[in-house]
C-alpha cells in the first residue's frame, strides 16, 4: 500500500497524522510564533549572561531545560499563548539572576548550588575521602588521566574535578616524579594480594606506595589489600 492509497482510503487519518488537530492555516502561524520565541530565547540567554553551554553548572542546566520547554510549547501548540511563555522567561530569569546574586554574596550558598571543586589526587595518591563521597568511577578517571598522557599516579602532583565536570591536572616535573600506581591496563591488572618478592608496591585503591617484604599486606592509608608493583615511568608529553 502506498501513501497515496492511504490518503484515498482514509483521508482524515492522513490529515490527522500530518496536521494533528490543527487547521492547515496554523502552519504559517507557527513560523511567526517560532520567530517570536526565537527572539525571546536570544534575549533571555543574553540576560542570563552566558556565552556558551560548556561551563553550565547543574543548576544552570535545570534553568535551561525549563526555558527550553517554555520556549518550545508556544511554537506549535495553538492553545499556548506567546505571552504566557514570555512570562515564564521573565520569571525564570529573574529567579536565576537573584540566585546568582546570592551565590556571589555567600560562599555557602555558592557551594550549595554550584557544588565545589573536588580534590582527586594529592601528591601522587587519591584524596580518598573525595572518592568515597563523590562515588567516582575509577575506570573513567583513569581513562581521562591516560588521555592527558599520565601513565602512573606518581607523575601527578594535584588533580581536581572542576565544577564544569572537567579534570584539571598539575604534574610533577620529570625529576620529581615518584614511583606510583600504574594506570596502564596491562600493569594495573596484575594485582596481587600475596607479595612474594620484596619491592615497592602501590595500593590499587588509593595509590599509596609502600615497601612490602613478603606475605600479605594492608594499605596504611585506606586498608586496601590489593597491590601492583609501583612503576616510575616519567610522563611522555
Which among 174, 173, 168, 159 has a CA at the least distance from the CA of 207?
A: 159
Q: Which stretch binds Zn ion (CB under 5 A): 22-30, 85-93, 166-174, 211-219?
A: 211-219
Q: How many positions of this chain bind Zn ion (CB under 5 A)? A: 8
Q: Which stretch binds Zn ion (CB under 5 A): 10-18, 35-43, 46-54, 213-221?
A: 213-221
| Residue 208 touches Zn ion, criterion: CB under 5 A | yes
Q: Which is nearer to Zn ion, 44 or 224 (CB)?
A: 224
Figure out which of the listed residues 224, 227, 228, 235 binds Zn ion, where binding follows CB under 5 A: 224
| Residue 125 touches Zn ion, criterion: CB under 5 A | no
Q: Which stretch binds Zn ion (CB under 5 A): 40-48, 62-70, 77-85, 223-231?
A: 223-231
Smallest gap from Cβ 57 to Zn ion, in A, equals: 32
Q: Which is nearer to Zn ion, 172 or 201 (CB)?
A: 201
**All residues at 6 or more sequence positions from 202 whose CB lies less than 8 Å from its CB, including other chains:** 153, 179, 180, 181, 182, 208, 209, 227, 228, 229, 230, 231
| Residue 203 touches Zn ion, criterion: CB under 5 A | yes
Smallest gap from Cβ 193 to Zn ion, in A, equals: 13
Figure out which of the listed residues 33, 205, 209, 230 binds Zn ion, where binding follows CB under 5 A: 205
Smallest gap from Cβ 131 to Zn ion, in A, equals: 10
| Residue 206 touches Zn ion, criterion: CB under 5 A | yes
Figure out which of the listed residues 92, 159, 219, 228 binds Zn ion, where binding follows CB under 5 A: 219
Q: Which stretch binds Zn ion (CB under 5 A): 63-71, 80-88, 95-103, 215-223?
A: 215-223
Given the rule CB under 5 A, which residues bind Zn ion?
203, 205-206, 208, 219, 221-222, 224
Amino acid at each position: 500500500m502506498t501513501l497515496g492509497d492511504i490518503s484515498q482510503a482514509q483521508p482524515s487519518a492522513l490529515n490527522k497524522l500530518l496536521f494533528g488537530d490543527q487547521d492547515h492555516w496554523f502552519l504559517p502561524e507557527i513560523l511567526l510564533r517560532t520567530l517570536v520565541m526565537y527572539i525571546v530565547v536570544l534575549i533571555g540567554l543574553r540576560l542570563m549572561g552566558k556565552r556558551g553551554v560548556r561551563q553550565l553548572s547543574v543548576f544552570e542546566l535545570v534553568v535551561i531545560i525549563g526555558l527550553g520547554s517554555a520556549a518550545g510549547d508556544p511554537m506549535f501548540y495553538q492553545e499556548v499563548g506567546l505571552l504566557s511563555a514570555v512570562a515564564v522567561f521573565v520569571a525564570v530569569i529573574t529567579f536565576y539572576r537573584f540566585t546568582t546574586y546570592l551565590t556571589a554574596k555567600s560562599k555557602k550558598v555558592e557551594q550549595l548550588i554550584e557544588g565545589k571543586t573536588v580534590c582527586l589526587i594529592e601528591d601522587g595518591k587519591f584524596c580518598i575521602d573525595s572518592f568515597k563521597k563523590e562515588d567516582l568511577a575509577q575506570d573513567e578517571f583513569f581513562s581521562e588521566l591516560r588521555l592527558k598522557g599520565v601513565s602512573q599516579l606518581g607523575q601527578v602532583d594535584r588533580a581536581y574535578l572542576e565544577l564544569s565536570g572537567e579534570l584539571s591536572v598539575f604534574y610533577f616535573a620529570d625529576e620529581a616524579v615518584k614511583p606510583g600506581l600504574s594506570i596502564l591496563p596491562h600493569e594495573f591488572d596484575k594485582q596481587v594480594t600475596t607479595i612474594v618478592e620484596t619491592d615497592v608496591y602501590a595500593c590499587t585503591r588509593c595509590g599509596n606506595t609502600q615497601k612490602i617484604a613478603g606475605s600479605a599486606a594492608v594499605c596504611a592509608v585506606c586498608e586496601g589489600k590489593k597491590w601492583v608493583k609501583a612503576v616510575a615511568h616519567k610522563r611522555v608529553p
